[in-house]
Chains A and B, each alone.
Chain A
């Protein structure tokens, strides 16, 4: 298994340009997440998905859009890039297990990240 893959690894955008960050997982996980991590900071949730066709906003969704047409793919779209979107973007996937009768969201598997610079 390749796990979670992200493309591209690096990208430089000019202000106002648009791009799509690709994320694919081959573990048949239902749950997928997009995070951004600014230098020296923690992870901020942008969007997440609990299955194909279902997405929801996280902490910092403004300036981004997502879609989830298949279980495997969860692309992140940046429209009208701004310098404030300079960051490292991580995609992650997860699956559910059980603990007794309770549904349990298991650990997240992260992709290697995309380093984006907007100038």
Chain B
């Protein structure tokens, strides 16, 4: 039931791009994306809604394919500060539960 993220880990050089995918076996109403630095709490990045609306506050883009129950996070021109573990949080219709994905570890090298 836990959403599966891919890749599990990725290493980038500064300025390179990355895509992180989140796939659920259940119908989704919305998807959240969070980034967690080592030893810290997760920090919100973006919400994606069924119907395509996005709400976020960082220069990161994302997509939500309702038919495939998948979401992708796009990190462009990566910076050292992008390093961390990225989690998707998924919510189905009619529930207030958020189920988090398996996580993707991202490391950006200078």
Contact = CB atoms under 8 A, between A and B. Distances in A.
Interface of A: 31, 33, 35, 41-45, 48, 50, 56, 58-59, 90, 99, 102, 104-113
A107 B44 contact: yes
A7 B48 CA distance: 32
Contact of A108 (B2, B49, B51, B98): B98
Interface in B13-34: 30, 32, 34
Question: Chain A at the B interface: mostly helix, strand, loop or mixed?
Answer: strand
Interface of B: 1-2, 30, 32, 34, 40-44, 47, 49, 51, 53, 55, 87, 89, 91, 96-103
Nearest to A109: B44
A48 B89 CA distance: 14
A110 B47 contact: no
A44 B2 CA distance: 9
Given A99-B49, A99-B53, A59 B96 contact: no
Contacts of B53: 99
Given A48-B96, A59-B99, A99-B49, A43 B42 contact: yes
B98 A33 contact: yes
Contacts of A50: 96
Given A42-B2, A42-B103, A108 B89 contact: yes
Given A43-B87, A59-B1, A110-B43, 10 more contacts: A33-B98, A35-B100, A42-B2, A42-B87, A42-B101, A42-B102, A45-B98, A58-B97, A105-B98, A109-B44
